[in-house]
Amino acid sequence: MTTTPNVISIDGVDYTPVNKNLSSEVRIVVLQRGWVVVGRYAEDGDEVTVSNASVIRLWGTTRGLGELIDGPTSSTELDPAGTVRAHRGAVVLTLDADGEAWKKHL
């Protein structure tokens, strides 16, 4: 059985593994120019990455965008977008979304 170490020490310096995509949370991301995407959110410096992303073409809500944090409605229209990358300054806002509710759509 092989295991991945939690900490590796080299010359007295401890290093830990980093995997940004495994711990990324599901967010709805509003970008400049009216783009709204949903997917697994991560930041690296000035770059924002939304993986397993979909563009939310039609919200299909009666109470606004915030209604989608609990998952898409039956009227929501999504367009698969793969990986979306943007400069941090292009992000207008993000909404934490229920990962389980969005799981089958990402």
Q: What is the pLDDT of residue 17?
A: 60
Please give the structure tokens belonging to residue 104.
Answer: 């089958």
pTM, two decimal places: 0.77
Give the single-character DSSP code of 65. G
Spatial contact of 27 and 97, defined as CB atoms under 8 Å apart = yes
Q: Please provide residue 85's backbone torsions phi and psi, each rounded to the nearest 5 degrees.
A: -120, 140
Band of residue 8 on the pLDDT scale cut at 50, 70, 90: confident
Strand partners, 40: 26, 51
CATH architecture of 20-105: Roll (2.30)
| 63 confidence band (pLDDT: 50, 70, 90) | very high
Mean pLDDT of 74-88: 97
Distant-in-sequence, close-in-space partners of 45: CB < 8 Å, separation ≥ 6:
88
- Per residue in 29-59, pLDDT (tens digit) is 999 999 999 999 999 999 999 999 999 999 9
Residue 39 burial (CB count, 10 A): 26
